[in-house]
Structure 1
Amino acid sequence: MTAEVTKVYKEHVPSTRLIGKRYSDEHRNAAGSFADRWDEWSVNGWFEEIGKLGALAESEGSSYGIMRMSGYQFEYWIGMLFPEHTEVPVGFDYADLAEGDVGICWLYGNRER
């Protein structure tokens, strides 16, 4: 994959609900990335499906790849941000995120095929 970081900044976000799918290290591809999971989202139309729920206004309907630690377990999430208490559709996971500062990084690039 050839990618370029085009923007990095800190942003304050309200309490929100992340709706998407949670992945762990076992979901990485042979190159060690989660790129195949993003392909899966595109092929299955999952962003369009959950986007109908009404994304958090501050997120402008963006999709997110979020890395976090839950105890000692690494988690990689793909999904979108929604207002608190948004109902989660069957087949998706969620994490309620507390208000706080987050680091945002924009990537631009293509996967070499």
Structure 2
Amino acid sequence: MEIVKVYKESFPAVKLVGKRYTNADRDEMGTFAYHWQQAYREGWFEKLRQCKSIPGVSEDDLGVMRVTDSGSTFAYWIGVFLAPDADVPDGFMSVEIPAGEVGVCWLRGNAQNGELYSAGASDLCVEAMAQKGWGFSQDGWFFERYHCSRFTKPDEKGNVILDICAYLA
């Protein structure tokens, strides 16, 4: 696993639309893999892509996390970022996230062995952002962005790039 690139992006205000989970929804391995499988099996992303999008922002599937209340409340969302005035389809939830600067870390690794989804992978990226002097928002949002071409087209070694992102202070 290796960091390929670390940079900032300016995000507009977005509406996160998807399904929300808590620690109680984790599987025996501590992941949300079953819920991702369900999302693809039931065509959630196809439904969400029919909603009002933001060009350059709404194209990618997301795993979005937030810890609030001094670390006592954890939420994990599977969904997409849509326009703030997008309608929310039946069966989905939403939350609005204001515009902000986002730290982005491209992490190259094997999607099949789980290394990209580990706490160590996130910690590696957070440390790379911190080394640039970037602080993180209090009760801020972190997300895994499964970029269409970087994540879906493995290189000659079978590795892909997962974007690990965090709203900055």
TM-aligned CA deviation for residue 101 of structure 1: 1.7
> Partners of 1:105 and 1:77 in 2: how far apart?
19
1:101 aligns with 2:101: yes
Alignment length, in residue pairs? 110
Q: Deviations for 1:76-102, whole angstroms, at most 9, x for unmatched residues?
A: 111011111211111000010011122
Aligned to 2:61: 63
What runs of 5+ residues in structure 2 fail to find an aligned partner? 115-169
Alpha-carbon distance in structure 2 between the residues aligned to 1:4 and 1:46: 31
Deviations 1:40-82 (A, max 9, x none): 1000000001111132212151111111124331111110111
Amino acid at match of 2:75: E
AA at the equivalent of 1:110 = Q
TM-superposed deviation, 1:12: 1.5
Aligned-partner Cα distance in 2 for 1:28–1:80: 20
User: Residues 6 and 90 of structure 1: is their aligned pair in 2 closer, same or farther, counting only changes over 3 Å?
Assistant: farther
- Cα distance change, pair 93–110 in 1 and its aligned pair in 2 (3 A): same
Which of 102-111 and 8-17 deviates more?
Answer: 102-111
Give 1:87's aligned amino acid: D
**CA RMSD, Structure 1 to Structure 2 (Å):** 2.2
Instruction: Please give the alpha-carbon distance, in whole angstroms, between the structure 2 residues aligned to 1:6 and 1:35.
Output: 25
SS in 2 for 1:84: coil
Q: Which runs of 5+ in 1 are unaligned?
A: none
My pick for the range that moved more, 68-77 or 7-16, is 7-16
Choose between structure 1 and 2: higher strand proportion. 1
Partner of 1:40: 38
Q: Which structure has the larger Rg?
A: 2
Asked whether the 8 Å contact 1:41–1:47 carries over to 2, the reply is: yes
User: Aligned residue for 1:75?
Assistant: 75
